[in-house]
Each structure stands twice: as structure tokens, then as C-alpha cells.
């Protein structure tokens, strides 16, 4: 440890601008982990069945609030699932119930995306309303064509879908979710103020080798999939650059461990128990701990037009071991880094 290394960092309480908490017993198992770290989180709507209406989002919000342990204050920010058939009126109802965004899943792109969009043109009435109401379009930015290599799907999405979409809706707020490539980082950097992007801890920490080291490692499998080292470095550069366009979104995506360690393993890394600590590790390694607060606590609310939090959290330099496995309803879940030692700890 050098003299310049701080022994603690205090920052404005962060929010998580991309999170999955599922429903039922699984939700009850994971919401406390996020509520201990974050004041608010954007909750993804890819349940089965998906959260399609304002009424469904409102009921889901009630269930999440009921799962927050007493003594913690945590507010779920709701997102509706965009389909080919989302009516413009549903956008108005979503705004009225306090939803902050719609989520674009290209059909088949990821977990529970079967009801997603098959053709963007079918959503234009809804997109007009999303733009008019000032809601955000959260985008899973991957094409789904079987003939596009899985590592190239994000770049193809930018060229084939995102650029035309933004030409047609120049004032639509587009949150480019979980970006994974240098092309995406560059696109967002050069875009206007309507575009922002979230970056996950796993895409900042690992390149695609992590999935294959010494055998297939399903707990490093998420979508979009981890990419080459050059892309990881571009993401670290973007996150730590001080640009207000990039903000924290864990994409913590819990799946029971037996469904990840499976012949057809589910995509998703469960990072909620140690998310802020993982980001601190990345920012410290980049010599940019002074940029962590803006990334974690300012850029997200500023982009969404919400107030910044006013309370604070403190990370202390203290070794601790992430639990190898945690209860997840009837099953177990393995957090990313489970069984390994972290050097930052949220007090
Ligand atoms: O890895 C992922 N898991 N990527 C997604 O886009 C969805 C998520 C999930 O819901 O499990
Ligand atoms: Zn996600």
C-alpha cells in the first residue's frame, strides 16, 4: 500500500441504473443485497410473464418495496417491457405511475426476451410517445441474427439499428445498457446529450478469457458476452474518464447456481452483494478513485433527470471473503467472486 492509498472513501449514496431482481422467493432473497448498497435501482421487466403494463409495473413495485428490509430505504424505479404491440396510451399510463423507462429487448437477444421487439418499425407509435413524455428507452444493444457472430452483435446493433433509430427519434433518450465494446464507448462519447450508457462491473473487470480459464466457467457468462481485452480497456477508460455519459448499472442478474452450471447455462452474473466494492477495485486499479462518485452517484440521476441522493456511504479498505453461495428461494446462488477476497468493503 502506498502512502497515497486512502484507507476509506466516502461518497454520495449510489444508485444502480440496471438491475434484475426477479419475483417471488427469488426476489425476497436478492432485494436486501441491493438495498444495502444503493438508494434506488432501475428494475428490469424481463419477468415471466414480462412487465407490459403500468398496472403490472405498479404491482411489481409494491412487491419489491415489501421485500426491502426494515431500516433500509430503497426505491425501485420501474421499467416497462416494450413489445411490437405496446400502445402509445400505455406510455402515458407508465409515466403517470412513475415509471422512468421502457426496455427494448430485441426478440431472442437474452433471458426472457421472447416477447421482445421483432421489428423496430412496429414500435414507432410507442417510441414517439416515449420521446414526447420524456421517458428513457433502455436498450439491450445486440442484434439477434444467427449469422452475426456473438462477439460482434453489439457493434452490428449500433450500425444497423441504433444509428437509424436515433435519426428517426433525435430527442429520444436512449440509455445504451451494459456496453461491452470500444465501438459502443466511442459511439456514446460522440453522441449528444440524449444518449447515456451503463457499464457493469464484470465488463470492467474481465475479458472473455475469464469464461474459458481452465474449463468452462458459467458464472462469467452473461449477455452481452465478455469481449477482448482491448474492449475492456476502452470501457475502463470510458468509466473513469469523468465523462457524465457513463454511469453505474450492475446488470446483477440472479440465476440459481444449478441453472448456470447446466448444459444450457443461463446468462447473468450476480454482483449485488459486492457491486460497489467491485467498481472501487476497478477505479483504484485505474488510478481514478476520485472519479468513482460521479460515475456511481451523479451521472445516473443527472441523465434520468432525478435528484441526486443526499446521504453517504463509506467504503473501507478491509479484506473480506464474498460468500461462496447464498440462499435463493429453494435453491442457491453463487455471487461473482464468491469465495474470493475483496479489498474494499462497504461499511
Ligand atoms: O446476462 C444477462 N442476464 N443479460 C441480460 O440481458 C439479461 C440478464 C437476465 O435477466 O438474466
Ligand atoms: Zn440486464
Task: State the first-to-last Cα distance of the chain, in angstroms, to the nearest integer.
Answer: 20
pTM more than 0.95: yes
Neighbours of 159 (CB within 10 A): 12
Ligand 1, atom 10, lies closest to the CA of: 111
Which pLDDT score is estimated for 5? Answer: 79
Round to whole Å and give the CA distance between 36 and 324. 19
How far apart are the CA of 318 and the centre of ligand 1, in A?
31
Neighbours of 153 (CB within 10 A): 21
224 prior amide bond cis, ω within 30: yes
Ligand 1, atom 7, lies closest to the CA of: 111
Q: Please give the positions annotated as active site.
A: 251
CATH number at residue 251: 3.20.20.140
Ligand 1, atom 4, lies closest to the CA of: 223
Query: Ligand 2 being an ion, which residues bring their Cβ within 5 A of it?
Result: 251
Round to whole Å and give the CA distance between 9 and 86. 44
Pocket test for ligand 1, best of 16, 253, 254 (most atoms within 8 A of CB): 253
Round to whole Å and give the CA distance between 335 and 250. 13
Question: Is residue 2 included in any domain, yes or no?
Answer: no
Q: Which residues have a Cβ under 8 Å from the Cβ of 152 and sit 6 or more positions away?
A: none
Q: Which residues have a Cβ under 8 Å from the Cβ of 85 and sit 6 or more positions away?
A: 122
Atom index in ligand 1 nearest the CA of residue 177 equals 6
Which pLDDT score is estimated for 111? Answer: 78
Question: Is residue 147 included in any domain, yes or no?
Answer: yes
Q: How wide is the angle at C-alpha 24 spanned by C-alphas 322 and 58, nearest 5°?
A: 115
Which pLDDT score is estimated for 4? Answer: 65
Question: Is residue 3 included in any domain, yes or no?
Answer: no
Which pLDDT score is estimated for 112? Answer: 83
Q: For ligand 1, which residues put their CB under 6 angstroms from it?
A: 20, 46, 110-111, 140, 222-223, 253, 267-268
Which pLDDT score is estimated for 113? Answer: 84
Residue 254: nearest ligand to its CA?
A: 1
Tens digit of pLDDT at every position of the chain (347 positions): 444 679 999 999 999 999 999 999 999 999 999 999 999 999 999 999 999 999 999 999 999 999 999 999 999 999 999 999 999 999 999 999 999 999 999 998 887 888 999 999 999 999 999 999 999 999 999 999 999 999 999 999 999 999 999 999 999 999 999 999 999 999 999 999 999 999 999 999 999 999 999 999 999 999 999 999 999 999 999 999 999 999 999 999 999 999 999 999 999 999 999 999 999 999 999 999 999 999 999 999 999 999 999 999 999 999 999 999 999 999 999 999 999 999 999 99
How far CA 22 is from CA of 45, 110, 156, 237, in Å, comes to 8, 15, 29, 32
Where in the sequence is the domain holding 301, given as residue range(s)? 8-346
Q: How many domains does the chain have?
A: 1
Amino acid at each position: 500500500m502506498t502512502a497515497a492509498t486512502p484507507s476509506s472513501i466516502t461518497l454520495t449514496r449510489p444508485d444502480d441504473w440496471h438491475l434484475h431482481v426477479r419475483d417471488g422467493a427469488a426476489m425476497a432473497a436478492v432485494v436486501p443485497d441491493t438495498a444495502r448498497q444503493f438508494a434506488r435501482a432501475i428494475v428490469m421487466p424481463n419477468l415471466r410473464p414480462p412487465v407490459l403494463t403500468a398496472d403490472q409495473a405498479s404491482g411489481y413495485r409494491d412487491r419489491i418495496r415489501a421485500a426491502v428490509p426494515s431500516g433500509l430505504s430503497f426505491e425501485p424505479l420501474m421499467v416497462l417491457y416494450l413489445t411490437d404491440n405496446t400502445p402509445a396510451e400505455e406510455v402515458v399510463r407508465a409515466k403517470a405511475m412513475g415509471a422512468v423507462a421502457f426496455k427494448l429487448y430485441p426478440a431472442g437477444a437474452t433471458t426472457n426476451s421472447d416477447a421482445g421487439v421483432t421489428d423496430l418499425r412496429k414500435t414507432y407509435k410507442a417510441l414517439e410517445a416515449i420521446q414526447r413524455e420524456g421517458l428513457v428507452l433502455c436498450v439491450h444493444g445486440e442484434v439477434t441474427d444467427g449469422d452475426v457472430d456473438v462477439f460482434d452483435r453489439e457493434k452490428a446493433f449500433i450500425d444497423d439499428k441504433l444509428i437509424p433509430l436515433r435519426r428517426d427519434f433525435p430527442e429520444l433518450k436512449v440509455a445504451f445498457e451494459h456496453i461491452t465494446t470500444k465501438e459502443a464507448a466511442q459511439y456514446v462519447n460522440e453522441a449528444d446529450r440524449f444518449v447515456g450508457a451503463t457499464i457493469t462491473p464484470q465488463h470492467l473487470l474481465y475479458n472473455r478469457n475469464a469464461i474459458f480459464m481452465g474449463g468452462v466457467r458459467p458464472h462469467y457468462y452473461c449477455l452481452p458476452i465478455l469481449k477482448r481485452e482491448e474492449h475492456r480497456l476502452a470501457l475502463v477508460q470510458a468509466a473513469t474518464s469523468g465523462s457524465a455519459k457513463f454511469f453505474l448499472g450492475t446488470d446483477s442478474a440472479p440465476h440459481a447456481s444449478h441453472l448456470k452450471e447446466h448444459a444450457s447455462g443461463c446468462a447473468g452474473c450476480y454482483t449485488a452483494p459486492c457491486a460497489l466494492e467491485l467498481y472501487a477495485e476497478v477505479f483504484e486499479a485505474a488510478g481514478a478513485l476520485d472519479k468513482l462518485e460521479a460515475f456511481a452517484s451523479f451521472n445516473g440521476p443527472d441523465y434520468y433527470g432525478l435528484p441526486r441522493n443526499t446521504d453517504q456511504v463509506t467504503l473501507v479498505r478491509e479484506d473480506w471473503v464474498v460468500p461462496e453461495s447464498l440462499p435463493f428461494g429453494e435453491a442457491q446462488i453463487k455471487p461473482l467472486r464468491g469465495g474470493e477476497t475483496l479489498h474494499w468493503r462497504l461499511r
